Structure 1
Amino acid sequence: MRRIIGLVVGVALLGMVFAGSFLGAFHAPEPHGVPVAVVAPAGQVRQLQSGIDGRRPGAFTLSPYGSAEAARAALLEREVDAVLVPGEGRLVVASAGGRTGATVITAAFQGAAQAQGRTLEVEDAVPLPPGDAGGIAGMFYVLSVLLPGIALAVLLARVAPGLGAAARTGVLAAGSLVAGTAVAWLADVVFGALPGSFVPLVAVSSGIALAVGLVVAGLVKVIGPPGVGVAALLFVPIGLPASGGPLGARYIPEWYAAVGRVLPVGPAAEAVRNTVFFGGAALWTPVGVLALWALLGLVLLALPGRRARPAPAAPRTPVAV
């Protein structure tokens, strides 16, 4: 009976972890420090910042740029999330960087312009593809890459428990390449949700699966089957909402976004997005985080494995004399 009660309580707690994590991140999205380039003198930008802060304190961070070309380049390099050109009454967004973010930025600045009796024309410099008009494919795509990495590490530990670290790493690398190619083919060629960068997408996807697979394999070697639960907990119910999901990290509580920046899911989603839609811009940080996770996995694989408990000796049967 105690085991049954413990099972029911454990399942309820797991549900609370999922609900608390996802609802805590997504139930009341608000922008936090969203960077916006403004093509105007610094004094005018300070005035605009003061006006924006009066409506939505801390929501946007405005930076002055000398020309529309420089500001647009910053948008394409992922340094800012939008470009405001007050002299031309124009706002430039990039919905491929996050549809929710583009919608929030547009609403905020159009509202400010209307309050002053002006109109604001909106341009989408990097639109989402027709195959992903809602802007949610990227996050589900990352999950479709993470899960094979986890599954490959778990199944390999069962099928070939005596495999050495080097051989295990090789199999994980090969399996990650196959999985990354398969899911990239579906996303690009079949559905057109992440189109136009098949080979770079394969490379990024394979790297994500390998990093996750190495961590899971290392945890399983060091602490046994519970390592799978630890990794799954970090990567899915915590890592996914902490990444910002389809909203983006700038629209969830800031402390949670800080957690998401060091877990694999957020950097993985950013790497996929920047590879497909922004020509590989700003990849160093997300790829660096994933590389550190892969390195952690390699270190764990190099450690001595968990010792199996010796089987209890069978009781001796007395021999009749």
Structure 2
Amino acid sequence: MTSRCLIAVWRAAASALPMIIGGILPAVLLLRLFPGHANLRRRLTGVILFALVAGASVAAVLQYGFGSLHGTYWLTALGLSLGMAALSIPFLALESLFGMAGLGAGAALMMLLGNPLSGMAGPYWLPSGWATLGQLLPPGASGSLVRANAFFDGTGAGAPALVLAAWVLAGLLVILAADRRTASGAPAPAVSDRARGRFTAPLGTASAFYRRPARAAAPPTAMATLASRA
């Protein structure tokens, strides 16, 4: 590897932290804007759209602004988008299980562990055990995917792409399972007595709100009619 290419790879390492932040921000914002079971589709759609737009933007800045990335722009952009989705969707999954505390714990784990072990400049700079762990986390897999697409014409992109896809799929499954559990455990909506068409009072109690409808007056008999005429 030439010195120029090595410098470019080191510059590409600057995308690790923006990628992690790009995974945290949409999860937090979408949870604030669209909370609850009814807005699940909006949150997932927002995460995917944000990942696509952010991946394209970061790839454009790194490739055309800084000149630190080469290769096919759209492949690099899709790799970055997949990396951001592999962060945002698991963050939403953690929130669905443990609330905002779970999202915060996941964000701290990625910032403090995933970022240093990402090996964005190349996992071979890390000890073997730590390098393997880093490549199983979204930041490390994203870095390897970006390197493969930007500098090696996609060679070696299969493994990191599968790792990121596994994170996305696992996050989606957890979100759907947690949402189904929440929906099934929600109490049934109360139906008013007026909607039921009747009023029920506890046995043995009198209610001031209950009145038995008055019976219609019986038609006068023949004897009563003669008596009234007399």
The alpha carbon displacement at 1:262 in A equals 1.3
Distance (Å, rounded) in 2 between the aligned partners of 1:243 and 1:212:
13
- Tell me if the contact between 1:222 and 1:303 (Cα under 8 Å) persists in the aligned partners: no
AA at the equivalent of 1:198? Y
TM-score normalized by the length of structure 1: 0.52
Find 1:241's aligned residue among 106, 116, 120: 116
The alpha carbon displacement at 1:142 in A equals 2.9
Would you tell me which structure has more helix in proportion to its own residues? 2
Secondary structure at the counterpart of residue 304 of structure 1: helix
- Tell me if the contact between 1:271 and 1:283 (Cα under 8 Å) persists in the aligned partners: yes
Note if 1:225 corresponds to 2:87: no
Secondary structure at the counterpart of residue 242 of structure 1: coil
Secondary structure at the counterpart of residue 89 of structure 2: helix
What aligned pairs does 1:11-160 form with structure 2 within 5 A after superposition? 94-95=1-2, 127-128=4-5, 133=7, 135-160=9-34
Worse overlay, 177-186 or 161-170: 161-170
Taking every aligned residue pair, what percent have the same amino acid on both sides? 30
Find 1:254's aligned residue among 123, 128, 133: 128
Note if 1:209 corresponds to 2:99: no
Distance (Å, rounded) in 1 between the aligned partners of 2:166 and 2:60:
27
AA at the equivalent of 1:262? L
**Aligned length in residues:** 180
Note if 1:273 corresponds to 2:140: no
The alpha carbon displacement at 1:239 in A equals 1.2
Distance (Å, rounded) in 2 between the aligned partners of 1:147 and 1:223:
20
- Tell me if the contact between 1:234 and 1:263 (Cα under 8 Å) persists in the aligned partners: no
The alpha carbon displacement at 1:205 in A equals 1.0
Q: 1:174 to 1:245 in 2, by over 3 A?
A: closer
Q: Which protein shows a greater Rg?
A: 2
TM-score normalized by the length of structure 2: 0.71
Distance (Å, rounded) in 2 between the aligned partners of 1:149 and 1:240:
12
- Tell me if the contact between 1:218 and 1:300 (Cα under 8 Å) persists in the aligned partners: yes
Over the residues paired in the alignment, what is the CA RMSD in angstroms?
A: 2.1
Q: 1:245 to 1:273 in 2, by over 3 A?
A: closer
Find 1:263's aligned residue among 126, 137, 140: 137
Would you tell me which structure has more strand in proportion to its own residues? 1
Note if 1:170 corresponds to 2:45: yes
